[in-house]
Structure 1
């Protein structure tokens, strides 16, 4: 807690932040949806998996750089990298939701040794992705509260999990669309 600021006020700030994040997410989904099909036709639905993998790759790079910078005491660079990673991950999430709302789930049809590799990667990716979002939000809330001790404690868990999820997101895309597309 900040000196002189009651816990209730900090709780309100956190709720305002979460509500703003929710509203921004809904607006971003609406805007990307408009770009993809309805108005400008800039991005087709079939482009979204590659775009989403690109967002995951950008997140991977900036999470790694942010981790490097904080371990070397460059907190401003760390902050810039982590903000970029959060924005990139948010863009991924918006694109992912739009794609799966339109297309549904894509069946891999994998069997044999490919399935033995693909499905454990996919399962761990999906399960840890559910953990990543709340961890990243909790880490950000600690930043806004200026609770660096708690931020550091949560980030020690959030960063490796988030990094794993962003890397495996790219791997899942490559397996499903480039290396072993269904029907090959």
Structure 2
């Protein structure tokens, strides 16, 4: 089996999504420590993903992978890809702001920012996995 940076990146995105899901569940149950640990772990997975994503683009000379699907799959894929890319550019400062507020103990403000940050981060993580499957597994 050949090593694949895109497969690794999908695994990292999926791992971040799992941590985000569990972190959300733990904070709903009032377990702040587990929430904090899972959210930091999600951040680490996302940061490692970003490193390997940039490395993959560098190694490929910036060339992108063409989508091979046809018919109704094309607009589904491209809408998902465009929203993923736009939100991926937006999410990093949102994550850092939300994290900063938690570190400072400003939990009311943290909670307000997290209501915006969490669904975007989750969407970017999940669609990152889906994009991998669309490009490398399904089509």
Aligned to 2:127: 168
The root-mean-square deviation of aligned C-alpha atoms, in Å, is 1.3
Find out whether 1:94 has 2:51 as its counterpart: yes
Find out whether 1:75 has 2:28 as its counterpart: no
Find out whether 1:126 has 2:89 as its counterpart: no
Aligned to 1:19: none
Aligned-partner SS, 2:4: helix
Q: TM-score, normalised by structure 1?
A: 0.71
Find out whether 1:52 has 2:18 as its counterpart: no
Aligned to 2:118: 159
Q: Return 5+ residue gaps in structure 1 as ranges.
A: 1-43
Find out whether 1:62 has 2:19 as its counterpart: yes
Aligned counterparts of 1:140 and 1:128: Cα–Cα separation in 2: 18
Larger RCO (alpha carbons 8 Å, 6+ apart):
2
Q: CA shift at 1:111, angstroms?
A: 3.7
Q: Deviation string for 1:141-179 (max 9, x for gaps)?
A: 112222111111100110011001100000000010001
Q: CA shift at 1:47, angstroms?
A: 1.2
Q: Return 5+ residue gaps in structure 2 as ranges.
A: none
Aligned counterparts of 1:99 and 1:147: Cα–Cα separation in 2: 37
Aligned counterparts of 2:4 and 2:89: Cα–Cα separation in 1: 24
Aligned counterparts of 2:68 and 2:125: Cα–Cα separation in 1: 23
Question: Which of these two proteins has the greater Rg computed from alpha carbons?
Answer: 1
